[in-house]
Amino acid sequence: MKLKFELAIFFIFVFLDSCSALVPTPTSTPIPTPVPIPTRIPAPPPPALAATIFPDAEQSYKQVSGRAPFTVTFTADVTGGVPPYTYAWDFDGDTKTDSAESSPPPFVYTQAAAYNAALVVTDAQGQDMRVTRRIVAFGAPQLPNWKYGVTAHLERRRPPYYPTLQDVERAAQLMQDAGIQAVRMDFNWDMLNPNRGEWKFEDYDNVVRIVRAHDIEFLGIVDYSSWWASSAQNAKDWRERLFSPPSNDYDFARYTYEVVNHFKNDVRVWQLWNEPNTETFWKPKPDPARYVSLLQEAYLAAKYADPNAVVLFAGMSSNGIEGNDNTGLASNFIENAYKAGARGYFDAMAIHPYMLPNGGIETLRAKIAATRAVMNRYGDETIPLWLTEMGVPSDAPWWSTAPLQSEEDVANWLRLVYTELWDLTPTIFWYQLQDREIGNDPEGHFGILRADFSPKRAYEVLKRLRAGNAK
């Protein structure tokens, strides 16, 4: 019995051993590695749709502002989104599509107006965006019906000018009492925009408010270079830096735009620079072509800000025709300006035909007529000619050999100027409102008021002229 049990156990072990030989060991055949299921990574979204319209006023005013009929060629720079794009141009702001092309044909603005041209761009996924561009097509300006004007440096808040706004108020009241219609005043670049991007309007706002409250209008002079923009950056003399043209015409045009835009509700007549035909106010020497380059860009900038603005050529020392090396006058400045492309970039010509009264009114008429002859020769027969400075000092010789003019002499000359020239000019600005206490310098004695605001004889004559009594 015991033997049978032992044999049974033996055979069981033999059987199990034979079975284990048939089962592979872990090291003999590796377990296969599972194949990973790929994960789908979403594609990044396309860049946002963006578009810009050209021409652009941030680069030049010459393609966004022009006299009607005014032709503009638009282009668009589109990025982002999912191409292809579709385009819908509305050039004249009537909400109708004028073109569906990416590069549309030129569009002609036949009517004088300010327009908001628009472009709607849509990409392949339906994203869209709208961009606009201001376009100004301007027409013939409505010139003011001014006859009697005066220059006054009301913006200068220091002696010997107008240290306080109360002084401005007093001057404005005296101008109103005399029937003066407009005051010619500098809107100096260096005072209004002393650094790029910095604007200081507050004091000018106060002056404009005071003067307009007395029913007096402005001829604003957009003039001279802010120090940061001057082409004479290394000059040690402030006069050279101030009276040199800017390095970049667009900087001056941008200043013109900002000033005209800011004051357009109160100031509608502007003059671009003062006496650039002299070495005093255009350094190092007069350059008609350089002035015209500045004029063209600034004229269009002024119209872009205010399509109804009236823009004058810079007041020419003398008549802009005669030359005199002793005072730095450039012979035939106006004619050379026409040759450089000035025509069409001013609404009125302006000259400063100073002379002593003993030269006679006929001599003065001849000086003015010489300017008119050049304008007519270049096709500007209908453009008015203004005298934006005219005057003579009293009780101080103009130069060492000049005869002294009394207050009565000056008053008589003013009467002749304001009665004998209306067939040659519609508008005369007398230089200037008030004397300045600067000793015997003749520049301080051109006023029709004394430095203490008391009236000279010339003030009384002007007042009577405005009242219809020339005596």
- pTM here is 0.89
CA angle 389, 456, 153 (to 5 degrees): 40
Q: Where in the chain is the domain with CATH 2.60.40.10?
A: 50-138
387 to 127, 213, 329: CA distances (angstroms): 59, 25, 17
pLDDT at 76: 95
> Could you tell me which residues come within 8 angstroms of residue 302 by beta carbon, excluding any fewer than 6 positions away?
222, 256, 257, 260, 270, 272, 309, 311
Round to whole Å and give the CA distance between 424 and 385: 7
- Specify the amino acid at residue 454: S
Q: What are phi and psi of 77, to 5 degrees?
A: -110, 110
pLDDT at 41: 76
pLDDT at 121: 97
Q: Where in the chain is the domain with CATH 3.20.20.80?
A: 148-466
Q: Can you name the CATH fold of 148-466?
A: TIM Barrel (3.20.20)
pLDDT at 139: 97
pLDDT at 198: 97
pLDDT at 331: 80
pLDDT at 327: 52
- Per residue of the chain (471 residues), give pLDDT as tens: 444 545 444 454 444 455 454 445 555 566 666 666 666 777 778 889 999 999 999 989 999 999 999 999 999 999 999 999 999 999 999 999 999 999 999 999 999 999 999 999 999 999 999 999 999 999 999 999 999 999 999 999 999 999 999 999 999 999 999 999 999 999 999 999 999 999 999 999 999 999 999 999 999 999 999 999 999 999 999 999 999 999 999 999 999 999 999 999 999 999 999 999 999 999 999 999 999 999 999 999 999 999 999 999 999 999 999 865 555 567 899 999 999 999 999 999 999 999 999 999 999 999 999 999 999 999 999 999 999 999 999 999 999 999 999 999 999 999 999 999 999 999 999 999 999 988 889 999 999 999 999 999 999 999 999 998 654
Work out the angle between the directed axes of helices 249-263 and 288-305 (0-180°, nearest 10): 40
pLDDT at 25: 52
pLDDT at 470: 52
250: left (phi over 0), alpha (psi -120 to 50) or beta: alpha
Give the CATH H-level superfamily of domain 50-138.
Answer: Immunoglobulins (2.60.40.10)
Round to whole Å and give the CA distance between 155 and 188: 9
pLDDT at 38: 65
Q: Which residues of 23-48 are buried (b: 16+ CB within 10 A; e: fewer)?
A: eeeeeeeeeeeeeeeeeeeeeeeeee
